[in-house]
Every structure is written in C-alpha cells, then in structure tokens.
Amino acid sequence: MWRRSTRVLCRHVARRGYSRVCPPPAKSAGPLIRVSNHVARLGPPKEGPKPRQLLSLPPFPGHPLPGKRSHEDGVVSRVTAVSWVKYYFDGIYDSTIQSHFKQGLVQMECRGLIEKEGQMKPMRKIRPSEVMEVGARVYVPVSIVESRVSRRFDCIPSGTLYPNADEIEYMQRRVKYKDSAIIVLNKPPKLPVKGNLPVHNSMDALAAAALSYGNNEGPKLVHRLDRESSGLHLMGRTKESVSLLQWLYTDFNKGKSSCQAWDDACEARYQRYWALVVGSPKEKEGLICAPLSKVLLDNGKTERVILAHQSGLEASQKAITQYRVLGPTINGCSWIELRPLTSRKHQLRVHCAEALGTPIVGDYKYGWFVHRRWKQMPHVDIEPTSGLPYKLRRPAGLDVQKGSVLSKVPLLHLHCRELVLPNIAKFLLILDQKLDNLHPAVSSKPDILRFVASMPSHMKISWNLMSSYLV
C-alpha cells in the first residue's frame, strides 16, 4: 500500500504544466526529413513567424479632431484608440482595423520606462476601448494600409485635342467631394495641372469640360501639384470661393476677423503628403526651415529651385516643412510624412533632396546622381527587433514594372494624402451676410472638412512590396 501511494505521488510530482501565455522555451531541434513531390530531403526545422514592420502614427494631438464635434457644454469628448486609428486611416475598412486590434497587433509606447541605446522603445498592446492621452504614439503594422491594385493604372484614357467622352467620365470618377463652392478630386500622376499650347489634356482643360455641373464656367485652380505627383487637388467653383481660397493659401500674415469660428478653422488647415525617399533622414522627425530661390539654366529655357545661400544677395522665399519618418529603411528606401507650412514651387522635393539628403524616389530633377548610386549598390537592411536582414517579398501575379520601386525607372513617389480646410460654402454665407442667427440647415454643417485620398497604383505596389510579414 505504501509503495502504491509513493508511485502515485511520484507521478504527480513528475507531471508539470505550462501556461498558455508563457510556453516553455523551444528546444533546439535537429534537422528534419521533409518530403515534397515524393522526394525526401534533410533540412532545418521551420522557423516561427517573423516580426512585422511597424508604422508610427503621429502623437495624439488632444484637441478636437478636424471633422469631429465636441459636446455642447464645451467639454471635448474622449477619443478611444480604435477611433484614433480609424480617423488617421480614413480610407481603410473598419473590419480590417478591428481585426488588427483583435489579433493584438496595435501597440503603444510605454511611458515612464527608460529607453536603452540601440534598442526599440518598450511597447504594450492596447485595447480598442482604451482612451487616448495627449502625446501618446500608436504603432500599427504597415499591412493595415495594404490594398488591392487595380489592373487599370491611373492614367487618362487618351491625349486628344479636345476632351472626349472617356476623359470626361474619367475626370468625374476622380471627384471625391463637391458642393456649391469647391470641388476636391484625387489627381492622377503624369497629368499636368496647367496646360499651354503643346499640352492639350491638362487639369484645367478637362475640368472646364467635365466638372462644370451646370455652371457657365468650369472650376478654377487654387493651388497646384506637380505633373508627376498625385493626390488631393482643390478647385473653386465660383469667383467668391476662388478669391477666398487664394487668400487662404497665401503666406502673408492674416489678421483676425470678426468671426471666431472662421479664425479657428483657418488655423486648423493643413496638408499632409506621403513620400518614399532614397535613404533615411538622420532624425526621425523635425522641422526644415530652408529658404528657396530660383535659377535659370540653358539661357533661360529651364528653371530650377535651389536652397538660398546665407549671404542673402539673391532673392529668396521663406519655406518651412515638417517631416516624420513612418517606418524602417528597406531596400535603401523609407516612407516619410511631409507637412508643408508654406506653399512654394517644388518645396517638398528640394527640401527632401538638399536639406535632408534623401531625394524622393522618381525625382530625377533633384536627385539624379543619388538614384544612379542607389540602383547600383546592394542593399542589406537589418530588422531592428530581431537583427535579421530584410528580404523583399514579391507578390504573385503583380507586375512590378509599372513605376514601382523595383522598376528600372520608378515614377515619382509623392502623394498628397490628407487635406483639412474650412467649409468654404458655409463661411461664405456667414462672412457675407454677417448674421448672428443662421438657418439651422447652415449652422448644422461642420466648420472643417477633411479628405483622405488613396495612393496611386505604382505607390500601392511599392507599399505592398515593402510590407506584411518579413520572409
């Protein structure tokens, strides 16, 4: 009897259970026999999943988000983590964001912990219902922004002398927002904004034919994007809205008006660009204050923008740009976010190429020599968490020779992704009539409008190539 109880006790002592949260360390297994196509081979065991590349969101501002309303008593409503991620990635499906939260892939920096040199900041998983604090920074996998690439690439159907039916229908599909004062559309790359004699299918010519919508005249240009760049483009529909938008986009010191809501909406205005640059800036975020000046080349035939010299003998213009690095360096490139505080010609391209030393991919005017050296040198990039080298994955059935980062001649990777501006149609009625008691239909409209545009096809391909799991 004593022996039997001793055996039972020994059995219970020898049995050891492990927690599902913290499993025992894996033993170093030897080579395994693998069978494929009826052929046996001796190979190493399978490795676990690789870490994901993280995309950092900007610090949570804390003030009311553009387009979001506060409570009637003036107290700002609390913003949860899932609301902040959905607000930043406006074009992403809610189900995709919810699945990333359920899988525990959304993380946040741990405050109060000391960061060690050469290591990443300590992270913790967050829940969707967690309330955001001012200055908190959220990290999500870059795969959250992956999207399908359409077979029909972003280009105008044809280049005729006068816009045809296909071009008119194509321009109407690019419209994202339209009211009585403005039109916001997603400009495709390689489409000039202002046309001249040799250019027939420009933005202003197509807009006059396709975007009049019953008015006597088509919409007018307010600001310009480069021909090779893409993204949100703003146009005014009436003379009053055009003059108000042009005043809004000037860099002169604007005085305060009698309408406090209009002043607050003007201060909240901004534009954000996403760009893929060659290399990576030394600082992860910062402010570029570098004035620009213009020089003429080839006997005045071409014009080039350069950084102004400190001597101050030549005419220059003030130029300020905020930048922030979105992720790690892969294949010698990195994604950055740009926010221009002034409106100058080729401001972002010159600041990236000359001030940061990292020209935008596809910008051969200001980064030709860097592109030649970048294409010739091998790229071995190290993943920061595991210390293993990156290896780009090539999705099956995806044509990478359509201007992406792996093509021989990539297109310009500069996209105006986000635009926040005052509600011009509402404030035209307020500023012109100067009425205290507005109609309920007018007062219920938001003071600020926010738009987010998806990237063009060649930038989507580059993003998908540099995202998802590392293999």
Residue 47: what residue type? E
Q: For residue 151, give the 3-state DSSP assignment.
A: coil
For the chain, how big is the Rg over CA atoms in Å? 27
Which distant-in-sequence residues (6+ apart) come within 8 Å of 219 by Cβ? 182, 183, 207, 208, 211, 212, 235, 236, 237
Amino acid at 435: L
**Residues 264-289 as b or e (16 or more Cβ within 10 Å = b):** ebbebeebbbbbbbbbbbeeeeeebe
Reference 428, options 256, 242, 251, 254; nearest CA is: 242
**Catalytic member of 166, 179, 204, 226:** 226
Cβ contact 401:457 at 8 Å: no
Tokens of 190: 């390689």
Of 384, 378, 317, whose CA–CA distance to 346 is shortest?
A: 317
How many C-beta neighbours within 10 Å does residue 51 have? 14
Q: What are the backbone dihedrals phi and psi of residue 32, each rounded to the nearest 5 degrees, phi first?
A: -115, 160
Amino acid identity of residue 113, one-letter, is: L
Catalytic residue check, 432: no
Q: Which of 416, 292, 427, 432 is nearest to 366 (CA)?
A: 292
From CA 333, how far away is CA 370, in angstroms rounded? 12
Neighbours of 75 (CB within 10 A): 8
Best CA proximity match to 205, nearest among 216, 195, 217:
195
* Contact in structure between 316 and 45 (CB atoms under 8 Å): no
Catalytic residues: 226
